[in-house]
Amino acid sequence: MLNPSTAAGEPQDTKGFIGTWLSGGVTLSFGPNPAEVSETVKLTLQDDVQRTLDVSTPVTWAVANGIADLGYDEAGSQGNSKWLYFYAVPKSGDDSLLTIRASDNVPSTGPAGYTEYKCVCSAYMEAGATLRQFLQTGNKFTYAGFITDYNQSNVAAFAWTSRDVSVFVPQTAQVAHTFMRIVTSVGTNGYQHHVSGVSGSGFNFVESYSTGEVSYDTGSADIPIFTAQTLYHTLILVLGSGTCLGVSWFHTGYTDGAIDS
């Protein structure tokens, strides 16, 4: 989405300013969407001032930069097993320019020490001190592979149950992108596995029916999130009896509601 500056005659803000995961997982490169041919990023912050960032050379945020421009906002944001939000903020020493700071503060709070900022990226810092690999397109984040949330064998039907998905999506996620698999055993039985943002209301599900041999079914689903970092699921027996041979649920990414599309 293009965000016009409030000052008459000012050029519009840069579309699709994104972060790019770099090999090793301790650095991110920032710049415009590859479709945007530009050497200068322009963003308007809360004070209605449009600031710029020179991207003619790589703009790289790094864990090793510590508490500094192109690093963290404060010591409390450092560490592992947490979500980081990456903000465009005024550059130290030159208020007309932009830089990047990472913070574990959500956008409603913003990075420590700043009143003008714009969230441009989010990423999970794993327990092993590397950022989870992702591809960002606007406000959509796609993981490099499936990340397992639920994987059980010989499962009996169960009622709606909440799932804490805080390891898989940030607090600002509006949609969880998922992939599901279900397996029914030899015999005559059928199951449905529903996943939803609302308990008791399943519009996204996979189902499998077996009539004498093992049966598999898979499906992908984009699940709207109504309570931050919480989803719900249920396993329903719809035919026959016995347990379900296997139920798996994976996360493939998310859509971040705090970032421009």
For residue 214, the domain's CATH number is 2.60.120.40
**Do 23 and 131 lie in a common domain?**
yes
- Kindly give the parts of the chain with pLDDT less than 50: 1-7
Q: What's the pLDDT score for residue 4?
A: 45
Q: Residue 155's domain spans which residues? A: 143-256
Q: What's the pLDDT score for residue 207?
A: 74
**Do 56 and 127 lie in a common domain?**
yes
Q: What's the pLDDT score for residue 2?
A: 39
Q: What's the pLDDT score for residue 242?
A: 76
**Do 134 and 147 lie in a common domain?**
no
Q: What's the pLDDT score for residue 188?
A: 64
**Do 46 and 93 lie in a common domain?**
yes
**Do 36 and 101 lie in a common domain?**
yes
Predicted model pTM: 0.91
In a domain, 231, yes or no: yes
Nearest in space to 131 (alpha carbons), one of 75, 85, 68, 70: 85
Q: What's the pLDDT score for residue 5?
A: 45
Q: What's the pLDDT score for residue 102?
A: 98
**Do 133 and 29 lie in a common domain?**
yes
In a domain, 55, yes or no: yes
Domain count, the chain: 2
Q: What's the pLDDT score for residue 160?
A: 95
Nearest in space to 86 (alpha carbons), one of 178, 17, 165: 17
> Do residues 215 and 257 touch, judged by C-beta distance below 8 A?
no
**Do 30 and 123 lie in a common domain?**
yes
Q: What's the pLDDT score for residue 173?
A: 98
**Do 125 and 148 lie in a common domain?**
no
As a dihedral over the C-alpha atoms of residue 104, residue 106, residue 108, residue 110, rounded to 10 degrees, the angle is 30
